[in-house]
């Protein structure tokens, strides 16, 4: 700390250039600090969404709303939805929830009253596309010690706890300033670069990943940091950018530039165990293991009323657009929901048919 204070004084006195001050921490010390910071994190829950406006006063065609949580040593939760100017994210007919416990996986389509339950080994990776979730790659928070963490290009680790142990990463000799914060840079040159704010618990300020085979560079910038717990800082704003990768490895044209707002962050003891407990909705149809599809939960008699109410809320108005890219026609959704209701009803009354 004293060395850094001296360096900052020299910079302010213009005795050394602001962009060339030496980094006070060596590679081993920086990695040790990073490992210690990650060891303190054993659970997190983050709710975020993409911008609802393309620009001021112009609504986005659609936006993403997600709630993601992870808790040591092996539990995971993911709720993915979309919203539009005419449809609230809570009523997204295509929303999905995923819960992974120590030995079970639950994949649910809430508005269809359908879920799939499978056995899932404690040491197995997260299923399907779950490892591609931005919050599992860019921030690098990975408390799931019993599950393999996602990997990046050339099998480099996404998890900061694994980065701290990897010989592929070395610290740059000089600090770099990002958004007014002096950062150490830990990198695997040409592949993965991390700008770390040591004074804020080694929080990532920028992560930049280069994918040569795809000619793409993925850069995520974090800002609006808040101290959620003592010594534990979390960003409440993210900028997710994808660039074309120039032949020399430099950044080319931006092909995606999206701002994400973090709505809520919970860490460690703030994350309730109830988040990872699966409770299917009344009337839900379930496929459990290799068993036949069946009504797994009683109830559901109000489902038809709920579908009718959904249709009334979102039936197109005379001035509504005739086409919405990426979304099915509302009547198709309604028919699908009614079909689901028919299946629920048939399963509900099947014993009476059999008894007759």
For the cut 70, the answer to whether the pLDDT of residue 322 exceeds it is: no
Considering the entire predicted model, what is its pTM? 0.82
19: cis peptide before it, omega within 30°?
no
User: Mind listing the pLDDT tens digit for each residue in 244-293?
Assistant: 988 887 888 999 999 999 999 999 999 999 999 999 988 899 999 988 88
* pLDDT in the model for residue 336: 55
* pLDDT in the model for residue 13: 39
In angstroms, the first-to-last Cα distance of the chain is 82
Q: What three-state secondary structure class fits 32?
A: helix
User: Mind listing the pLDDT tens digit for each residue in 146-162?
Assistant: 999 999 988 999 999 99
Assigned token pair, 328: 């099915």
- The Cα–Cα gap between 182 and 204 comes to 12
- Place 226 in a pLDDT band, splitting at 50, 70 and 90: very high
- The Cα–Cα gap between 71 and 266 comes to 11
* pLDDT in the model for residue 320: 46
DSSP notation for 178-209: ETTEEEEEEEETTTEEEEEEGGGTTEEEEEEE
């Amino acid at each position: 700390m004293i060395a850094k204070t001296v360096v900052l004084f020299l910079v302010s006195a213009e005795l050394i250039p602001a962009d060339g001050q030496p980094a006070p921490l060596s590679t081993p010390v920086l990695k040790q600090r990073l490992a210690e910071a990650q060891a303190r994190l054993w659970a997190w829950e983050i709710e975020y969404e993409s911008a609802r406006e393309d620009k001021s006063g112009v609504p986005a065609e659609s936006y993403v709303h997600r709630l993601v949580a992870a808790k040591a040593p092996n539990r995971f939760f993911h709720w993915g939805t979309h919203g539009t100017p005419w449809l609230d994210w809570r009523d997204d007919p295509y929303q999905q929830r995923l819960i992974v416990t120590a030995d079970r996986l639950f994949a649910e389509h809430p508005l269809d009253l359908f879920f799939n339950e499978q056995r899932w080994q404690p040491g197995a990776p997260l299923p399907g596309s779950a490892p591609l979730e931005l919050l599992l790659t860019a921030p690098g928070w990975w408390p799931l010690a019993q599950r393999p963490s996602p990997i990046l290009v050339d099998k480099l680790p996404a998890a900061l706890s694994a980065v701290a142990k990897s010989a592929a990463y070395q610290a740059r000799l000089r600090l770099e300033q990002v958004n007014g914060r002096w950062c150490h840079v830990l990198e695997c040159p040409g592949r993965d670069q991390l700008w770390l704010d040591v004074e804020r618990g080694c929080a990532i300020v920028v992560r930049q990943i280069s994918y040569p085979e795809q000619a793409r560079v993925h850069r995520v910038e974090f800002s609006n940091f808040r101290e959620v717990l003592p010594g534990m800082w979390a960003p409440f704003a993210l900028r997710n950018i994808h660039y074309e990768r120039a032949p020399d490895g430099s950044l080319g044209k931006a092909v995606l530039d999206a701002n994400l707002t973090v709505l809520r962050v919970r860490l460690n003891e703030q994350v309730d165990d109830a988040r990872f407990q699966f409770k299917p909705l009344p009337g839900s149809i379930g496929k459990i293991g290799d068993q036949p599809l069946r009504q797994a939960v009683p109830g559901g008699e109000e489902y038809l009323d709920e579908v009718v109410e959904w249709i009334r809320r979102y039936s197109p108005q005379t001035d509504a657009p005739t086409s919405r890219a990426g979304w099915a026609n509302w009547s198709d959704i309604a028919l699908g929901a009614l079909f689901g209701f028919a299946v629920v009803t048939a399963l509900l009354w099947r014993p009476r048919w059999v008894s007759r």
